[in-house]
């Protein structure tokens, strides 16, 4: 569901009987179904799927042609870009390929906020605007205009990926996300609400305590949704409970998919152990400037036809910055927008035959790196936990360079041997240049949107940006 569900958490909703809350969720689900999945959606999905047969060259030619038309339109209809072209002498009509954008400045979230209404295209009337927003997990959200067609294309791209794996619209889904669909003060089950038009059981991510998880498992056993989708940190909590209590759901889950957070190796292993199928992830964001989809071979494909994505090497980390252009949204064009994420690329083609560059790993945001005493930044620390399935949850907190605190929620069977192995894995990556302290907690704090940050860096931004420069 979208931000529209926030209205459900009014005092009237919280005071309503649970049956009326189910009805309110279904009414909101009906509204969303109509907005996302109208007649245009099905045509957009058909077109997106037809492009899967493109060769790599055909796909890049399609992307570049779309980028050319998009940038030209933005530079004639958006005040921000008209001024930029006048000041820098840019000639958008000469842009013929993604590489031609290199002289253009990288756009930040802060710059978009500061530009305000000058980022809006005069070609899209306000009556056609839909308001979208980012969660702002680092404390800085963004609200911007989009269109119904842009939203439907985004969902068509996501459904193309789900259909790769055999999931069809109308499949019942157990959804574990960050929306406040169950009042926080509710002390007893049901900790879920039904969205019948969307075929969803919306499980609350804010009530998943050890004492409550049995009720979640019982509902899955009773309702038997074949598809689980949600934040990997929440699905991993459920998986950990199932594994350590030696439980069975009593039916075969066919699909587990994740989004909104990076799927960590340890979470992937835990979910496959509990649910019997490998989880698949997609990477995307509300701004629509990049999208990656995991195929049946476990490879992340760049959806080249949806957005124009640049991967700019970051000398400080050895990974690549994700810089994208949202060619599907004419209302608020974002050209060379910095997502603040880092990825590692893979130049080996995928045996599935689908076009698109391959992302080997999503390494996290720029602040998701640990800074050593020497000033070197290292990422992909989640690999240290990959085989430690006795850890329910983990989080790295850094307040000073060269020092970290690892917060651990222990699962059943966790021992001093696991702690020793964790420290060994950390030091194998960081050497003696990092002092490590372990703190054991019963639960980890999540953001207002329900997400769990794996690395919480409290270093000054200057320390992050100056290292390695």
Beta bridge partners of 86: none
H or E segment and range at residue 173: strand 173-176
pTM of the model: 0.82
Residue where the block lists tokens 């350590």: 244
Q: Looking at the predicted structure, is the pLDDT value of residue 138 above 80?
A: no
Q: Tell me, rounded to whole angstroms, the distance of Cα 416 from its chain centroid.
A: 34
Q: What is the mean pLDDT of residues 369-398?
A: 79
3-state SS assignment for residue 283: strand
Q: pLDDT tens-digit profile of 268-283?
A: 999 999 999 999 999 9
What is the average pLDDT score of the chain?
Answer: 89
3-state SS assignment for residue 82: helix
- CA–CA gap between residue 292 and residue 304 (Å, rounded): 9
Q: What is the mean pLDDT of residues 127-146?
A: 76
H or E segment and range at residue 87: helix 79-88
> Which domains can be identified in the chain, with CATH numbers?
37-171+226-365 (3.40.50.12780), 369-466 (3.30.300.30)
- Output 124 or 453, whichever has higher pLDDT: 124
Q: pLDDT tens-digit profile of 67-95?
A: 999 999 999 999 999 999 999 999 999 89
H or E segment and range at residue 398: strand 391-400
Q: Which DSSP string do the residues of 288-352 spell out, in sequence order?
A: -S-EEEE-TTS-EEE-TTT-EEEEEE-TTTSSEEEEEE-TT-SSS--SSEEEEEEEEEE-SPPTT
Residue 229 is predicted with a pLDDT of 98
Percent of the chain at pLDDT exceeding 90: 67
């Amino acid at each position: 569901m979208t931000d529209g569900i926030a209205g459900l958490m009014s005092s009237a909703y919280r005071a309503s009987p649970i049956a009326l809350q189910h009805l309110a969720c279904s009414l909101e689900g009906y509204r969303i179904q109509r907005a996302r999945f109208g007649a245009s959606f099905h045509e957009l999905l058909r077109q997106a799927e037809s492009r899967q047969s493109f060769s790599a060259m055909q796909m890049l030619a399609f992307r570049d042609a779309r980028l050319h038309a998009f940038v030209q339109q933005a530079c004639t209809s958006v005040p921000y870009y008209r001024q930029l072209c006048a000041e820098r002498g840019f000639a958008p009509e000469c842009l013929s390929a993604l590489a031609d954008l290199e002289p253009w400045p990288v756009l930040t979230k802060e710059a978009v906020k500061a530009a305000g209404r000058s980022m809006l295209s005069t070609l899209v009337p306000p009556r056609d605007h839909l308001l979208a927003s980012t969660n702002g997990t680092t404390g800085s959200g963004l609200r911007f205009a989009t269109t119904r067609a842009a939203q439907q294309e985004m969902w068509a791209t996501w459904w193309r990926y789900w259909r790769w794996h055999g999931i069809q619209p109308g499949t019942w889904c157990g959804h574990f996300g960050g929306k406040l669909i169950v009042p926080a003060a509710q002390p007893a089950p049901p900790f879920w609400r039904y969205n019948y038009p969307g075929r969803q059981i919306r499980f609350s991510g804010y009530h998943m305590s050890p004492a409550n998880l049995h009720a979640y498992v019982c509902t899955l056993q009773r309702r038997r949704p074949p598809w689980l989708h949600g934040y990997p940190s929440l699905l991993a909590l459920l998986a950990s409970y199932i594994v350590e209590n030696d439980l069975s759901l009593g039916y075969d889950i066919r699909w587990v998919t994740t989004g909104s957070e990076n799927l960590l190796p340890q979470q992937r292993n835990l979910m496959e152990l509990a649910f019997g199928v490998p989880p698949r992830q997609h990477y995307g964001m509300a701004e629509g400037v990049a999208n990656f989809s995991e195929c049946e071979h476990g490879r992340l494909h760049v959806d080249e036809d949806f957005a124009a994505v640049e991967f700019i090497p970051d000398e400080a980390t050895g990974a690549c910055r994700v810089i994208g252009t949202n060619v599907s949204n004419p209302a608020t064009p974002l050209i060379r927008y910095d997502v603040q994420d880092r990825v590692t690329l893979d130049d080996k083609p995928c045996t599935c035959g689908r076009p698109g560059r391959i992302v080997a790993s999503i390494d996290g945001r720029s602040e998701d790196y640990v800074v050593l005493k020497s000033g070197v930044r290292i990422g992909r620390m989640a690999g240290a936990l990959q085989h430690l399935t006795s850890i329910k949850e983990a989080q790295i907190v850094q307040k000073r360079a060269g020092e970290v605190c690892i917060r651990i929620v222990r699962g059943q069977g966790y021992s001093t041997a696991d702690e020793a192995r964790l420290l060994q894995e950390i030091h194998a990556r960081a050497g003696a240049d990092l002092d490590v302290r372990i703190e054991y907690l019963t639960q980890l704090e999540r953001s207002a949107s329900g997400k769990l940050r794996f690395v919480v860096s409290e270093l000054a931004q200057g320390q992050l940006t100056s290292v390695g420069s």
